[in-house]
Amino acid sequence: MARSALFPPGFVWGTATSSYQIEGGHDAGGKGPSIWDAFCTIPGKVNEHADGTIACDHFHRWREDVDLMKKMGLTAYRFSLSWPRILPTGYGKINRSGIQFYSDLIDALLEAEIDPWITLYHWDLPLALQLEKDGWLNPDMASIFADYAEICFEEFGNRVKNWITINEPWVVAMLGYGQGIFAPGRISNAEPYLAGHQLIRAHAFAVERYRKKFQYVQKGRIGITNNCDWREPLNDTAADRAAAQRALEFFLGWFADPVYKGAYPDSMRSRVGERLPYFSDHEIDIIKGSSDFFGLNHYTTMYAAEAGNKLQDSSVYGNGGLSEDQEVNLSLDKEWKLTEMKWAIVPCGCKKLLEWIDARYDHPEIFITENGAAFDDKVLDGHCHDDDRVDFYEKYLQAINAAMENRVKVKGYFAWSFMDNFEWASGYSKRFGMHYVDFNTLKRIPKSSAKWYADVIAHNGLK
């Protein structure tokens, strides 16, 4: 049943997007190609052979988009910078027209009283770095990334006070270097741990750069965003409780433990062994404590059970890949409703995950930097009544509010997404937006959820 849920004053209400998913303008104004531009050309990788060449054409329609955000009353907007738009080959000469694009967008957001939250890396690596360096497998990437980050702090940091280094290193490592279903399309049971390691180092190097050269004057905050589902023990047994805990450690602990505790989880070290690299003492010094806030993207929940010798096949939505290493079997409850992504809607999983993070990482300030759902939206007489999505958001916000009543420090919430966009390997077939985008005309139509969310923001919560 609907319960009211008010949020504290100053709570951050935003929506989120990412560069490759919305911008288009794939070669406009001197932009270089990214690994997603290349990956999309491989037959069979993306649904209906779609790509981000045009996407939502936000590169040309951003003024209209900022107006729509203003109508919603957003207090914040999270978006990412396209690294190859700023540095066409990943390093070296700056592409001034790329800087100008983001600079104008930032100014328009501030003018609309919307706080920009910038993600420096949301998966669109400059293709040149993949070809020259083998991308995230190369230890040199940490300083190359920090050099790129420094350009962004230098150009935008006078106006931008919220920075996210890397979006979802788990997805980059697992889906990009393990399952091969996201760019760069590598398939391996060892490379995910190597790529993950370099992503953590890159994050820490960029944060070190910000803290040393910018933070004391620009006075912003910087952190990393990780994604994690909740894992509920299938049976109330010691073995399944341990399996669920282990699954969370392999999912979120992999990236959050180094940042908050200075080391990978023991459960990973003992199972992955030498395939999991080590940090040097100096690296631990800069990695530990390298996030000013806990960025969390959360979408769904699965049951976890001890696999024993009955390990199921690994699959992305089954065992999150590399199930051999975790020795966990995942499954769904027949009662759970599914979104178009086949992700189960389980609001209490969100509350439990927030409480798990609060306890494990010593009560960090948490920003939910993504939460949302894909549904089969239709436009009728010019309107899109996405009641399922409104229901989803209402229940998840209630669950978050309940965690906050238990003193979990959630400070902000970003709905994924501001508008329908290029949903990676699913192409344009999955709609997550609060605005409907007609991909033939590129017209945006506010869905019921956009109006509902505007109301939530105006009341600072659910009535």
Cβ proximity to ligand PNW: between 291 and 297 the closer is 297
Among the listed residues 12, 171, 247, 445, the single contact to ligand PNW using CB under 6 A:
171
Among the listed residues 15, 130, 167, 291, the single contact to ligand PNW using CB under 6 A:
167
Among the listed residues 15, 18, 34, 95, the single contact to ligand PNW using CB under 6 A:
18
> CB of residue 380 vs ligand PNW: minimum separation in angstroms?
25
Cβ proximity to ligand PNW: between 5 and 166 the closer is 166
> CB of residue 9 vs ligand PNW: minimum separation in angstroms?
28
Q: Which amino acid is at 185?
A: G
430/421 Cα distance (integer angstroms): 8
Which segment (163-171, 201-209, 385-393, 399-407) binds ligand PNW by CB under 6 A? 163-171
What does the block give as tokens for 223?
């952190």
> Could you tell me which of 270, 129, 247, 248 has the C-alpha nearest to residue 198?
129
- Scanning residues 426 to 445, which ones bind ligand PNW (CB under 6 A)? 432
Give exposure, 211-249, as e/b (b: 16+ Cβ within 10 Å). eeebbeebebbbbbbbbbbbbbbbeeeeebbbbbbbbbb
In the residue annotation, 111 being an active-site residue is answered as no
Is 461 in a helix, a strand, or coil? strand
> CB of residue 69 vs ligand PNW: minimum separation in angstroms?
18
Which segment (164-172, 198-206, 252-260, 397-405) binds ligand PNW by CB under 6 A? 164-172
Among the listed residues 51, 155, 168, 232, the single contact to ligand PNW using CB under 6 A:
168
Cβ proximity to ligand PNW: between 95 and 167 the closer is 167
Rule CB under 6 A: say whether 370 interacts with ligand PNW: yes
Residues that contact ligand PNW, how many (by CB under 6 A) = 12
187/195 Cα distance (integer angstroms): 12
* Alpha-carbon distances, residue 240 vs 98, 140, 237, 335 (angstroms): 50, 40, 5, 20
What angle in degrees, to the nearest 10, is found between the helix axes of 254-261 and 347-360? 30
- Scanning residues 210 to 229, which ones bind ligand PNW (CB under 6 A)? 227
Cβ proximity to ligand PNW: between 99 and 248 the closer is 248
> CB of residue 431 vs ligand PNW: minimum separation in angstroms?
11
Rule CB under 6 A: say whether 316 interacts with ligand PNW: yes
Q: Long-range contacts: 312-320, Cβ < 8 Å, 24+?
A: 316/174, 316/175, 316/179, 316/181, 317/342, 320/174, 320/247, 320/250, 320/251
Q: Is 463 exposed, middle or buried (CB count within 10 Å of its CB: 0-12, 13-18, 19+)?
A: exposed
> CB of residue 218 vs ligand PNW: minimum separation in angstroms?
26
Cβ proximity to ligand PNW: between 167 and 245 the closer is 167
In what helix (H) or strand (E) does residue 414 lie, and over which residues does it extend? Answer: strand 410-416
> CB of residue 286 vs ligand PNW: minimum separation in angstroms?
25
Which segment (167-175, 189-197, 274-282, 401-409) binds ligand PNW by CB under 6 A? 167-175
- Scanning residues 272 to 301, which ones bind ligand PNW (CB under 6 A)? 297
**List 168, 283, 394, 423, catalytic entry:** 168
Cβ proximity to ligand PNW: between 250 and 432 the closer is 432
> CB of residue 332 vs ligand PNW: minimum separation in angstroms?
14
> CB of residue 418 vs ligand PNW: minimum separation in angstroms?
11
**List 150, 191, 249, 370, catalytic entry:** 370
Q: State the chain's maximal CA–CA distance in angstroms.
A: 62
In sequence order, what are the beta bridge partners of 115?
76
Give exposure, 111-127, as e/b (b: 16+ Cβ within 10 Å). eeebbbbbbbbbbbbbb
Cβ proximity to ligand PNW: between 286 and 316 the closer is 316
69/406 Cα distance (integer angstroms): 32
On whether the CB atoms of residues 435 and 68 are closer than 8 A, the answer is yes
**Phi, psi (degrees; rounded to nearest 5) at 165:** -70, -60
In the residue annotation, 168 being an active-site residue is answered as yes
What does the block give as tokens for 82?
């396209």
Catalytic machinery residues: 168, 370
Q: What residues line the site for ligand PNW (CB under 6 A)?
A: 18, 21, 167-168, 171, 227, 297, 316, 370, 416, 423, 432
